[in-house]
């Protein structure tokens, strides 16, 4: 019988001097966007405009982490997730004593996901992060190895509790592969640490096109500030690495 993880641990950050001692997984958002700041076109199709170098960059980042967070909208758009396949990256994980693939964690309040998606046939560990209502339809299924169940009073995922569960399950580092709704939820919960944004040489436009952070938006005066850690340029793409400054 599958273990259902209930609201058990709240995020607990201890501050020692000026240094935060993490007791939750650290997060890095990795997204490709058009030069006008869209992560997909206005039809919200799968974004495949990044170059081969961008895909290799994404795979290198995924190879570094214990788990990958994927929004349900992203999974519905792509139907699959990105696996680590390069031999040198698989070897690196093996040398670090990590499982060959990070856990793929789908985030969805409703958990209304098509079990026929190719994602469910990919050789990766799959967990579902959802609410009690969402978990109901997957309890008898083997599609997910684990159901992580949390809920806020407004029936969305309780991110602090969820991150407590992920930390308790041994996940120290997470890659957040989008989309904009998931990133906005994590930003609102103050759970974002770093971002890798690839600026790709195209313009998508469209008020309905998703951006790296969607959600309700933030007033400029309250906007989280970023520190630029690194910039790389390869051909016409720019790879920007930011840290979210803690207030
Ligand atoms: N360019 C890139 O690098 C890149 C990367 C990823 C995605 N994308 C694009 O982004 C688009 C998808 O992004 P999106 O913003 O529409 O979707 P998304 O962020 O992938 O997923 C949104 C869904 O996640 C769940 N969710 C998010 N916050 C939640 C919360 N607080 N509580 C409970 N559930 C929550 C909900 O699932 P339920 O509705 O199931 O409850 C929500 O509908 C696609 O067009 C894709 O191509 C681009």
- Give the distance (Å) from ligand 1 centre to CA of residue 73: 4
Judge whether residue 247 has pLDDT over 90.
no
| DSSP secondary structure code for residue 82 in this structure | P
Residue 124 located in a structural domain: yes
Residue 71 located in a structural domain: yes
Between the alpha carbon of residue 15 and those of residues 20, 54, 78, the distances in Å are 5, 36, 40
Our answer on whether the CB atom of 182 is closer than 6 Å to any ligand 1 atom is yes
Residue 67 located in a structural domain: yes
Number of domains, the chain: 1
Q: Which of 28, 32, 37, 71 is the best mutation target for the ligand 1 pocket, counting ligand atoms within 8 Å of the beta carbon and taking the most?
A: 71
In this predicted model, what pLDDT tens digit does every residue of 43-96 receive, in sequence order? 999 999 999 999 999 999 999 999 999 999 999 999 999 999 999 999 999 999
Residue 224 located in a structural domain: no
Are 128 and 120 in contact by the 8 Å Cβ rule? The answer is no
Confidence tier at 109 by pLDDT (50, 70, 90): very high
Judge whether residue 4 has pLDDT over 80.
no
Residue 212 located in a structural domain: no
**Residue 31's domain is classified under what CATH number?**
3.40.430.10
Mean pLDDT along residues 3-25:
47
> pTM score, two decimals?
0.92
In this predicted model, what pLDDT tens digit does every residue of 150-191 receive, in sequence order? 999 999 999 999 999 999 999 999 999 999 999 999 999 999
- Predicted pLDDT at 234: 98
Contacts with 124 (C-beta within 8 Å, 6 or more apart), sequence order: 81, 83, 101, 103, 104
Residue 221 located in a structural domain: no
Q: 53 burial class (0-12, 13-18, 19+ CB within 10 angstroms)?
A: middle
Taking all residues of the chain, what is their mean pLDDT, rounded to a whole number?
92
- Give the distance (Å) from ligand 1 centre to CA of residue 205: 19
Residue 222 located in a structural domain: no
- Predicted pLDDT at 12: 35
In which domain, by residue range, is 60 found? 4-35+48-205+229-244
Percent of the chain with pLDDT strictly greater than 70:
91
Residue 236 located in a structural domain: yes
CA-based torsion, 137, 165, 124, 173: positive or negative: positive
């Amino acid at each position: 019988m599958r273990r259902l993880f209930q609201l058990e641990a709240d995020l607990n950050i201890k501050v020692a001097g000026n240094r935060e001692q993490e007791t939750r997984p650290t997060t890095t958002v990795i997204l490709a966007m058009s030069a006008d700041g869209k992560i997909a076109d206005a039809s919200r199709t799968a974004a495949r405009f990044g170059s081969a170098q961008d895909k290799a960059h994404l795979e290198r980042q995924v190879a570094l982490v214990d788990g990958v967070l994927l929004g349900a909208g992203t999974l519905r758009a792509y139907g699959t997730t990105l696996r680590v396949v390069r031999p040198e990256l698989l070897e690196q994980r093996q040398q670090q004593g990590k499982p060959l693939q990070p856990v793929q964690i789908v985030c969805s309040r409703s958990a209304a996901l098509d079990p026929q998606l190719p994602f469910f046939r990919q050789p990766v560990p799959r967990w579902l992060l959802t609410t009690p209502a969402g978990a109901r339809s997957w309890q008898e299924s083997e599609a997910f190895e684990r159901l992580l169940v949390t809920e806020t009073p407004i029936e969305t995922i309780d991110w602090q509790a969820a991150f407590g569960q992920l930390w308790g399950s041994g996940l120290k580092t997470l890659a957040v592969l989008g989309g904009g709704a998931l990133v906005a939820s994590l930003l609102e919960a103050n759970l974002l640490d770093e971002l890798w944004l690839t600026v790709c040489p195209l313009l998508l436009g469209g008020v309905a096109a998703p951006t790296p952070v969607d959600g309700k938006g933030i007033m400029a005066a309250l906007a989280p500030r970023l520190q630029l850690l690194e910039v790389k340029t390869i051909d016409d793409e720019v790879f920007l690495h930011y840290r979210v400054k803690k207030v």
